[in-house]
Structure 1
C-alpha cells in the first residue's frame, strides 16, 4: 500500500503499512457512544490532521489511541502491533508521545524539571543534547529555564508541553489542540516548529485541531470528524478547497 503525501513544496510517496492505524473504533462514555466506528491511517513521515467542531469526538479519538478510554470495538494498531487493550504507560514506551489539550504541564515544577519528566528513562544519556534541541526549537524556554511552569504565558506553556513530549524521542507525536487560546503569532511559531521537525527529522505527527485553516495548511492529509464519525478525508489542499469544508470550517476568515 502506498500513501502519497502532497505539500505545497513537494510530493513524497510513502510505501508500506501505516505507522498508526485506527480501524472501526467505537468508544463509549458509559452508555453514550462518542466514536461510532472511526477509521484513520497515519503513515511514517506524515503530518495528518483531524478537524471538526467542538464536541465532534476529536479529543476522544486522541485519548482512545493512548488507551484511556479504551475502545470497546475496533482496533488501534501501532507499527503493526495491536495496542487497543494496552494501558497508557505501556503505549508511551512504544515511543508514542502526546501533548494533551489544555497543556497539563506541571505548574509547580520549573521548565527544566518539566523537560526532565518528559525524558524517557532509557534515553537519559541523550538528555543534555535533547534539552539543547528543545531550546533551539523554542528559544523562549531557555530564557525561562528556572521559572515555574505555572507562571509561564499560555504560549510558553504550550511550547513546554510540546517540548516535554518531544523529550521522549517519539516515533509518533500526537498534538491535541495546540493553538487553543493562543495569539496568532504564537500559533505560527508552534506550527512552524512542527513543520520543521517533520521536514528535518521525518517526525510523524497526528494533529487534532479546531483551527482548520492552519491545520490543513500544515498537514499532508486530513480527516473531518462530525458527531463521532469521519465524514471526509483527503490531502490538506483538497480539504482546503472542498466547498463543504470551506462552508463549515473556513468561512468567516482565516483564524
Structure 2
C-alpha cells in the first residue's frame, strides 16, 4: 500500500525495492527484500556483518542482478539494467573499501568522478568538495594511495558527489575509521542532505551513528528486513539496542 503523502514524505519513492531475491550461485543472499527511499531522505540499513546489506546495495547497482523482484528508480525499472547505464541515471555509489585510484592525485580522482556533461561545473564542484572536506584541499596534489584511511573515505564520497547525483549510496563509510573522522564524515552527509536536499541511502555497521543520522532505518538479518521505523524509533527499540547498540556508541 502506498504511504499517504505528507509535507515531509511525498508518496512516490525515488528508489523502490520490491520482493528482491539475489543469489550467489545457489546460495540465496537476499530473500525477498522490500524497502523505499523517498526524495530528500536519509535512509539506512543496519545489520551484522554478512546480513546482506552490501549485497542489497550492489544489487540496486546491477551487479549482481536480482533474480526475482523489481527495483525502480525515479519511476524507471532498473532491475535488469547494466551498472554503467544505472550510473548515468544520477545515482552515485561510494562502495565499501573506498576503491579510489591510488596512483592518481586527489584532483585526478575528482576528475574521474565528474561526468562528461558536468565538466562545465568542474571548478565550482571541486570548490564545493573542498568546502565539505577541507582536508582534501590540503592534499590536492597528493596521490590517493598515500592518504590516510579517513582522507581516502572523504575522497571516495567527494568523487561520487562530483557526478551531481540525485541519490548518493554509501556502503560502510565509517568502516575502520577513528571516531573523530567518522563524526566529520557523518556531519558532511547531514549537511549535504540539509543544505542541498540530497537523498542518501546508507549501509552501515555502526548502528548508533547511522540511526542518529537517518530519517528512517531498516534492520536486516540474514537477507531479510526484520524491522523498520524512524531512526529515533529504532535507536530506542530494545531489540535493536541489545543486538546492535550494546557495548558503547563508538
Structure 1 length-normalised TM:
0.96
Matched, 1:164 2:178: no
**Alignment equivalent of 2:80, drawn from 76, 82, 85:** 85
2:142 corresponding residue in structure 1 = 147
Q: CA deviation at 1:3?
A: 6.8
Residue 221 (structure 1) aligned with residue 216 (structure 2): yes
Q: TM-score, normalised by structure 2?
A: 0.98
Q: Does 1:17 align with 2:12?
A: yes
Check whether the contact 1:173–1:206 (CA below 8 A) recurs between aligned residues: yes
Q: 1:195 to 1:4 in 2, by over 3 A?
A: farther
Structure 1: gaps of 5 or more residues: 6-11
**Aligned structure 1 segments of 4 or more residues deviating by more than 4 angstroms:** 1-5
C-alpha separation in 2, matches of 1:134 and 1:202: 16
Rounded Cα–Cα distance in structure 1 between residues aligned with 2:209 and 2:143 = 30
Q: Contact 2:5–2:11 at 8 Å: present in 1 too?
A: no
Counterpart Cα distance in 1 of 2:49 and 2:182: 19
Report how far residue 184 of structure 1 moved: 0.3
Can you list the C-alpha shifts for 1:115-163, whole angstroms capped at 9, x where unaligned?
0000011111000000000000000000000100000000000000000
Partner of 1:9: none
Paired with 1:126 and 1:120, the residues of 2 have a C-alpha distance of 10
Per-residue CA shift, 1:145-184, capped at 9, x if unaligned? 0100000000000000000000000000000000000000
Aligned length: 249
Establish whether residue 202 from structure 1 lines up as the match of residue 193 from structure 2: no
Partner residue in 2 for 1:8: none
CA contact (8 A) 1:3 1:13 kept: no
- Per the TM alignment, residue 16 of structure 1 is displaced from its structure 2 partner at its CA by 2.9
Deviations 1:4-51 (A, max 9, x none): 89xxxxxx6222300000000000000000000000100000000000
Q: Aligned equivalents of 1:133 and 1:247: distance in 2?
A: 40
Shift of 1:2: 4.5
| One of 220, 224, 227 as aligned partner of 1:232 | 227
The Cα RMSD (Å) is 1.1
Secondary structure of the residue aligned to 1:128 is: helix
The match for 1:127 among 108, 113, 122 is 122
